[in-house]
Structures are given as C-alpha cells and as structure tokens.
Amino acid sequence: MNPSTAPATSFWYIPVASPLHDARSLSALLAGHEQALVGAGGHRGVGEVADAPGVPFYFVQTGGTEHDVLRRHRSRIQQGRGGPLLLIAHPGHNSLPAALEMLAAIQQEGRPGRIFLLKGKEDDRTLAEITQTARALAANNRLAQDRFGIIGPSADWLVASSPRAELVARRFGMWVKEFAVDELRAYIAQQPLPEDGPEFDFWDRAHGKDGLTREAFAQAVRVTRGLRALVQNHQLSMLTLRCFDLVEKDGVTGCLALALLADAGITAGCEGDIPSAVLLRWLWHLTGQAGWMANPSDVDVPKGELLLAHCTVPLGMVGGYRFRTHFESGIGLGIAGEFAPGPVTLLRLGGSNLDRWWGAEGTLVENRRAPDLCRTQVVVRVSPPAAGELLSAPLGNHLVLVRGHVQGLFREAFIWGTPGRGA
C-alpha cells in the first residue's frame, strides 16, 4: 500500500486488570506496551468508551478479567453495536490464559473474535496486525454509511453480476436506490452544451485526441455535469451506470463522467456492475485510492499474465492519457490511460450473496494499445495458480485493480464484513 494514500489508523483500546494485582507495578511493567499502542494510533479509554461507536480493543493486562470483558462485550451486542471481540494479551500476569478463555466463550456463542499477543514495544508484527484490523473495521463501518445509486439495471451480459438491491443493502448495511436511465437523461437535458469550464483542462492536457472533436468532448462534459447533478441531488457517494444505454440511444458515453467522478471521491462503476462498484468503494475506504474496473481480455496461465482492458479509467491513476472513440461503438469518448509499472492487487467480489472473492497480488508490467480491445490496456503478472483460477472458477467478468499489495487487508475486511461476523 502506498503510505501517502492509506487512511490514518485510529482505534480505542481499553485496559482491563484485576484489582488483586498491584496497579503501580503493573503500570510500570506494561508502560512499553501502551507506548507502542499509542504510537500505532491507539487511544486509551476507560469505562463508557466500551459502549462508544467503533469496535474497541480490550487490553487484557491480567487474569481475573474474564467476566468484566464479557459483560462489556455482551452489553455492546445488546445495544446493537456488534463486532468481534478483540483482545490484546501479553505474556505475563495470566493475560493470555484469560484471553483464551474469553475468546472460547464468545466462539461457543457463535460470535467472532481474535487475540493479539503483544510481546512488547518492539513487537512490530503484532502492532501491524492490530492496525490492519482497526483499518479493516473502520472501512467496513464507512461502507455501511454509503449511499449507492444504481442507474439502470445491470447490462444484459452481466448474468453473474446482477444481485438485487435489497441483497446489497442487507449484506453491507448501505443505503441503496435504483434510478431509471431516463432520470439521468433528464439531468443531462438540463445542462447546456458547454463551451468551457474546468473539465476542459483535461482536454488540453491529453496526449492525443484520436478521432475526436472538441464538440464530442463537450458532449461528454454535458453527461458529466448531468451525472454530477444527480449525485449531488441524492447525496450519492457511489454509483454504477448502465452506460451502454447512453451509447446506443444517445450517441454519447459515460466514460469521462465516471473517470472524473472517481477522481473526486465518488466511486463510479460501469455497465451497471454492482459487485464491482461495491468492491471499488470498499477499496476506497481501505486504501484511500480509486481503483480501476476492467475486463480480463487474455490470460496466459503458464506465465501468470493477464491482459486487462476498459474504455474508462480514473485519470488520477494514470500518468498520461489520450482521448479516443469508445471501442465497441466507435462513437463518443473513451480514455486510453498510461499506467506506471509497479505492484498492484487484482480483486473480484462475487457469489450469489456477494459472499465470495478472488484476489491476486502482482506487478503491472506494461501498457498496450491493441486496436481490437477497449482503450486502456495493461498487462499484469500474477502467480500462475491465481491466473488459472480465473478460468476454472470465475466469479464474473470484471476485475478491480488497485495500486500496492493489499490482498491481506481486503481479506481481513471481508472476514469481518461477512454477515454474522460483525462489521
């Protein structure tokens, strides 16, 4: 992950100790542990903080704390503030035995939890695990607060990527609303054909405008402004658009609109692909980055190479770009972006209940410009088994690419975000 874009990690930890232990000597013994927790983004809390929003970590300082911690955790559950039981233990004062007993009790009730064994202030590995869990849970909480607009039904060819809106709302807790494409058309119709504005800076910066006129770009800007007006009116934080309706009926594309919205922090997916839009937003919360949704156009399993292509890309993800026509239709505007090589993660969310995922960490090795594919094209190298799994057990067409190696972070977010696991 790029540390400059990763969200800051902050979490509450609540020390718990038996009154039988000498508080002064215990404080001296564990001062280094607490210093490390604070340095990792922890905030020490007491009492009522256990009932505050967010999932607290209980720093189990001694044995004899089992009933106190379980009482607090069960109280949170009764108040509707679920989440896993997160226990930080250390190798002394019967801390670990107490944590093992607590976690066993909670798991007997069918509830999740985890123990972090912090061995001292130099235990960077455990501190990293704590901060990763905190980041994953915070991202899941933000995802549940999103407002998701589904503009038009999923594209007809997305036969495995069209879950019901009700399922998405139930699965992730977010607000979901469906709009007809005609509602977007009404917003677009209210926009005059622009002659200038901030969007035209992107026209001026383009490395090329193959087959496009400034008027064609203005039409794309008009779509952008109409879609932005719909987003603002309904306070959407994410959307997916059945964009081919605009291509086929209006002779315009949504490629520029989706790219610029994504750059502005409004997650925007194509083709009405609901799982990909959710995954893009999830990764935004986890990493602070926009991702790129693309088709796997070719797979070389022995080499572990995937060729990905799509006609739009967030412009902030690429170092340069050309404007071209949309590939399939040859009309409107598409974007041919140039990615920098480097580490990336590929992910896919799927399953009938959006309860499965595929992922692979790899390296983006080159850009391509094949004439018979969507305009932005990259080659990514992953492990051969991961490439082979795409062909043997796919979850659907589109993959999402994000910079950096973040598969472990997403894995943890997915675990805690699975129904019954307590996001």
pLDDT the model gives residue 422: 44
Buried b (16+ CB within 10 A) or exposed e, 74-103: eebeeeebbbbbbbbbbeebbbbebbebbb
DSSP-assigned letters across all residues of 96-149: HHHHHHHHHHHHHTT--EEEEE--STT-HHHHHHHHHHHHHHHHHHHHHT-EEE
Residue 342: helix, strand or coil by DSSP?
A: strand
How far is it, in rounded angstroms, from Cα 190 to Cα 193? Answer: 10
How far is it, in rounded angstroms, from Cα 43 to Cα 56? Answer: 10
Q: How many residues does the chain have?
A: 423
Please, are residues 14 and 58 in contact by the beta-carbon 8 Å criterion?
Answer: yes
Q: In angstroms, what CA-CA distances link 413 with 68, 140, 250, 351, 406?
A: 28, 7, 40, 17, 11
The string of pLDDT tens digits covering residues 37-53 is 999 999 988 765 555 66
All structural domains of the chain:
11-144 (3.40.50.10940), 147-416 (no CATH)
Please say if the pLDDT value at position 326 is more than 90.
Answer: no
Residue 175: helix, strand or coil by DSSP?
A: strand
- 13-22, 99-108, 352-361 — which is least confidently predicted? 13-22
The string of pLDDT tens digits covering residues 259-311 is 999 999 999 999 999 999 999 999 999 999 999 999 999 999 999 999 999 98
The string of pLDDT tens digits covering residues 17-33 is 998 767 777 777 788 89
Angle at alpha carbon of residue 19, lines to 25 and 62, rounded to 5°: 65
